[in-house]
Each structure stands twice: as structure tokens, then as C-alpha cells.
Chains A and B, each alone.
Chain A
């Protein structure tokens, strides 16, 4: 892998940019691998990367039915924060956020991490109490957050209407080192680094079945034939139910659509991320000037990557009330992704009933921020066969035991 640098740009500028090489290879699959990851989204690629980097396992294939990063990783609104309530959540999301701080240097790929600050508005007294509690919990967890006044909210984000008629802003939970990143670049950066370690990223290859013998996984049936493996990681977000069925078990997960949209580009007017969970909408401004907007999920099982229009209306209604300045903006694009929602709104990083088959899923509406930390924890689980401290509590048996990691009360919108 040739490193990207200012010298490389200068060198290529001098020779008509003919010397850039492909960022990753597109090999044909080998007969078998030490480990196969299904799903080349951010979580799958990060898992492969840390398998190599932290555990020295590089005979790895990442198998993707479409193109890498074409799932939710390329469809999300890129909010990165770690101000969760429960200790186990704060641990993994803060690990992830802190890895984002140096990810561009680590991968030699600009992921445009922008710690511009994330503000979650409190617009009911219930939310004020909830976020004050979260701020106290975060203080104990070592996550830097703060409950701020409406005046401070207005200073940080002048385009916000803090005396709205329905839900005036009563304060906010502020995480100054939260922010955004470039979603595609995260997938591409990890893919490039995996390819450089000799791993195979096999795109346009759908996994159709999981083969096992005596309760141990032996490989996967794919559209490019059978591929053997010693260890298998299922990291397919919205399609987790399908892959689990192939591996012979069920998950506490429903697949539903979540949509996002962006406006026409305008001059810089907002340099923080604002989430308004009571009215159900959130917004940030991209480097191109577009307002990046999201809201709530649809309420029924759906694999079409299309959502219901009334949710867009609902989201925009909420945001026009919160940011009157956007009422005349034209929206440019709108799209959907299929998110994997668990009962307690927390992810699953777990062994499964099938031997040497592991699963990482359930990130639902909020897993972009978790990509580095989740990959780190999943790689540890796959390499050692047992979860490390980051993953332990996110096992899939917590539902049977009633040991939920309940984040649904902490945030109505969990992005």
C-alpha cells in the first residue's frame, strides 16, 4: 500500500495523477480462510482490521453481497457521541469515539472526524431530569458531558429557536467532543487497510447459507460457491435475522426502515450537531453546506430501503419549529436504510448457539459512531472465542436473563 501524504499529492500532480493505485484489491475467493466476516459495512470491515492489527489474524475474507459500505454505513447521518446512560454502553461508545479521534492517522485515510460538539435538547421537564441524570452518569464513567442552560444553547447554536410555542428549550446535554465523520471514508479507510494486510474483500457475493458439522461452523454457501472457514462473524445489520436463520437461531431483532434527507447547500450557519428528541428530529451541516436531517424509524418490518413519507413530514415539521431559518429550504435527496432494532435498543456482540459462529448486530439507528469500538470488541471475541470486557454484557442471552442494557428510556431518538 502506497501511503497517502502531501508528498504523494505533489508527486502525482507532477505526473498527471497516473500513479495512484487502487485503494483495495478485488480478489476471487480462496477455498477457505481462518475467519470469514459476512458484511462489508463499517462494523464488518473494522472487525477484520482489528483481527489483523490486534490479534495477528490476516487470513480473513470479508464477504459482501453488494458494494462495500453500501448498507447503513453509507446511509447514515454520521453523528458520533458517547453520552449514553448505562455503564456498558458508555464504555464501548466512548472507546469508539476516542478511536475516531486518531482514526485518520491510524488508517492513513482522512475520515474527516469533526468533533464539533453534539447537543441533545431538553424540551420537557422529564428530559431535563433524564439528561441531568445522564450527565451525572457520564461524569462517573469518565465521559465529558455537561448539562447546559438555554442561554448557552443559543450561544452555541444561534439559529435555534429556544422559545418555541410548543416545546421551549429548557437546557441541553452537551458533549463537546462528539461530532460527525465521513461515513464512506470510514468504510473505505478500513477496507484499504485490510486489503494492505492481505485480507480479501469479496464484493458482489451474497451469503446464502451457513454450513456446519457437529454444531461447529465449517463455512458459508455463497453465490460464488462454498467457502470454508474456521470462524465466522455475522455483521450484516438489517439482514441479521436472515443470517441467523441460516445459522439456525433467532434474534430479538426487527428490521425496520430509517430515513434521512439533505437540503440544498447553504452558507455555513451551524457548527454543532443538534438533536431534538421530544419533537423527533436532528440536524447538522455538512462540509458541503447541506443540512443533514434525520428523525424516527418506521414502525413495521421492511427490507426495501424505502420509508414512509409521513415520517419525513413529521421530522421536517419538528425541525422547522426548532430552526425557523430552514422553512424555505429545498430538500435535495432522501433515502432509507434497514436498521436492526433490539428490544432494549442496545447492540449484540456475542457468541451464538452455533460453535465458532459470532454475531455483531442490533446497532439499529445508532451504530456509525460505534464502528471502531465495535470492530475492536468483535475482533477480540472472534480471536479469543470469549468476549473481552467491552463486549461481555452485550451477549444475546441477556434477554433470557432479563439483563437488559436499556437505552430506550435514555433517548427517544437513538442515533
Chain B
């Protein structure tokens, strides 16, 4: 059972309290963008086996969207953080690197 701490209300919420929102830090494209950009934003997914950044909603709690850093190969949770950022904060990166020394920040190539 997946447990994520909501960064807003501090509740350690288990999965049934949460709604998944899949890949985080996607770059949004608006009117005037090319079909390739829209496709990249709406459909092309990283879907990594390993470190992943995701959107989650604390649906049956405070109702807010937050972000989580997780490993999809082991289900380890590195940490959660508020959604109002365009990339993972330094303390989350440090936590991931402490557990996965070989991992390099790579969310930028999702943009």
C-alpha cells in the first residue's frame, strides 16, 4: 500500500485517500504550438523504470494537488513537495541521490 505525506496538511495519506495524476513537470503548450509539441505534452510519456516525478491529489483530504518523487522499480518514496514549482526542490534531489548515487536529474528532458 502506497503512503504519501501531503505537503500541505501534513497527513500521511494512504492510497485510497489519493488520486493519481501521472507524470509531473510536463511543459504545457498553448495555441500556436506545433502538433509535435502538443503530442509531446499530451501523450508522449517518460514512464521510467526507476526515479519518477508524479502528480497526486489529496482527494479525500485537503483536495489539493501535490508532487511526489518515487521509484517505480521498488515503490520507494523519496519525498513529496508542493505543486507550485517547475522542477523538484534541492532537498528532494539530495534525498534521491543519497539513495541512488548513479541517478542524475533528468526531468528537464521532459520539457
Q: Interface of A with B (CB < 8 Å)?
A: 239, 241-242, 245, 250-255, 299-304, 306, 308-310, 343, 399-401
B49 and A303: CB pair below 8 A? yes
- For this complex, into which size category does the number of interface residues on chain B fall? 20 to 34
Considering only residues 40-78 of chain B, those with a C-beta below 8 Å from chain A are 40, 42-49, 52, 54, 70, 72-75
Task: Give the Cβ gap from A343 to chain B, nearest Cβ, in Å.
Answer: 6
A308 to B18, CA, bound (A): 13
**In the bound complex, do residue B52 and residue A301 qualify as a contact, i.e. CB atoms below 8 Å apart?**
yes
Min distance, Cβ B34 to any Cβ of chain A, angstroms: 10
User: Do A254 and B22 touch (CB < 8 A)?
Assistant: yes
**28 pairs, A vs B, C-beta closer than 8 Å:** A241-B45, A241-B46, A245-B48, A251-B44, A251-B47, A252-B44, A254-B22, A254-B45, A254-B47, A255-B49, A301-B47, A301-B52, A301-B54, A301-B72, A302-B72, A302-B75, A303-B73, A304-B75, A308-B1, A308-B2, A308-B15, A310-B1, A310-B16, A343-B42, A343-B43, A399-B42, A400-B38, A400-B43
Inter-chain CA distance A184–B53, complex, in Å, is 36
**Chain A nearest CB, measured from B35 CB (Å):** 5
Q: In the complex, what residue of chain B is closest to A340 when comparing beta carbons?
A: B47
* Inter-subunit contact A252/B2 (CB<8 Å): no
Chain B residues closer than 8 Å to A242, beta-carbon distance = 48-49
Bound-state CA distance A161–B91 (Å) is 55
- A245: chain B residues within 8 A (beta carbon): 48
Known contacts A301-B22, A303-B72: does B2 contact A251 (CB below 8 Å)? Answer: no
Could you tell me which B residues sit within 8 Å of A by CB distance?
Answer: 1-2, 15-16, 19-20, 22, 35-36, 38-40, 42-49, 52, 54, 70, 72-75
Cα of A255 to Cα of B54 in the assembled complex, Å:
13
Residues of B with C-beta under 8 A to A300: 2, 20, 22, 54, 70
Do A399 and B49 have beta carbons less than 8 Å apart? no
Evaluate whether A400 and B2 lie within 8 angstroms (CB atoms) in the complex, with A251-B44, A301-B72, A303-B72 already known.
Answer: no
A399 to B38, CA, bound (A): 10
The interface residues of chain B lying within 8 Å CB-to-CB of A301 are 22, 47-48, 52, 54, 72
Known: A242-B49, A301-B47. Is A250-B20 also a contact (CB below 8 A)?
A: no
Q: How far is the CB of A62 from chain B (nearest CB, A)?
A: 21
The residue of chain B having its C-beta at the shortest distance from the C-beta of A343 within the complex is: B43
Q: What is the bound-complex CA distance between A309 and B54, given in angstroms?
A: 21
Closest chain-B Cβ to A249's Cβ sits at a distance in Å of: 8
Of all chain B residues, the one with the shortest Cβ separation from A313 is B16
For A308, list chain B residues within 8 Å (CB): 1-2, 15
In the assembled complex, which residues on chain A have CB atoms less than 8 Å from the CB atom of B1?
308-310
Which of A250, A306, A310, A343 has the most chain B CB atoms inside 10 A of its CB? A250
For the complex, what is the distance from the CA of A245 to the CA of B22, rounded to whole Å?
18
